[in-house]
Homo-oligomer: A and B are copies of this chain.
Amino acid sequence: MTKQSHNTVRQSMQERIETGEWALGGLIPGEIELAEEYGCARTTINRALQALADAGMLVRKRKGGTRVCNMPVRQAKFSIPVVREQVEAMGSQYRHRVLVNTKTTPPTSIATRLNISDSDKALYIETVHLADDRPFAFESRWINLKAVPNIVDAPFKDISVNEWLIRSVPFSNGDVIFSAINADEKIADCIEAESGTAVFVVDRTTWYKEEYITTLKLYYKPGFQLYTRF
């Protein structure tokens, strides 16, 4: 073979795994050997192998060599949903309405999550996200004022709370919990559903460098689906 890109090599190796030429859990040749076989530099082989390891297909160990993963679990990458983009992706017009925006002391469960004391005040905001002026999702959010004190001056008419935060604290970390609940009356009312309807819930908490920023729950309208590919 002549001139191989790391991509071509990777695909070739992926096929060797898929066809079983390289058995599940089995050891595969070392980098130098593969470099000779493919007729390219070891660096190129290394890059291809690392990509496959990153995808969860290979497990690599110094001295131990490279093995095909014996319990192949595919991983999927997905973007943390931004409601406005979800709405616009459907071809609908996005708008939002702020129902509540107050500074108040949060319940203990929230205070714990934001790592603030029970007596500290936090910003509580309720928002309804609309798609073509029909309810799409209801958002209930608490914000740690110590983390982003200047948020109180921000007007949320044109820009949503979420997008303000994204711009203000651009690359935070966080966790996400997906679940399903039966809508209580309040939620049902906000998303124009009947009480008791199954609702898809996204519970998200974000932080930046040991400091908690915000925690929110998103209740999507009935029938909502979250799609991913792997």
Interface residues of A (CB under 8 A from B): 14, 17-18, 24, 56-57, 71-80, 82, 85, 166-167, 170-182, 196-201, 208, 223-230
Asked if A175 and B79 sit within 8 Å, CB to CB, the answer is no
Q: Can you list 28 pairs linking A and B with CB atoms under 8 Å apart?
A: A17-B171, A18-B208, A56-B79, A57-B171, A72-B170, A73-B79, A73-B82, A73-B166, A74-B171, A74-B174, A75-B78, A75-B80, A76-B79, A76-B80, A78-B78, A175-B229, A175-B230, A176-B227, A177-B225, A177-B226, A178-B178, A179-B224, A180-B180, A180-B201, A180-B224, A182-B196, A182-B198, A196-B196
Q: Report Cα–Cα, A114/B173, bound state, in Å.
A: 38
Asked if A173 and B80 sit within 8 Å, CB to CB, the answer is no
Top-8 shortest CB links A-B: A180-B180, A198-B198, A180-B200, A180-B198, A178-B226, A182-B198, A72-B170, A179-B225
B residues near A230, Cβ cutoff 8 Å = 80, 173-176
How many copies, total? 2
Q: Report Cα–Cα, A57/B226, bound state, in Å.
A: 23
B residues near A196, Cβ cutoff 8 Å = 182, 196
**Residue of B whose beta carbon sits closest to that of A203:** B225
Asked if B77 and A76 sit within 8 Å, CB to CB, the answer is yes
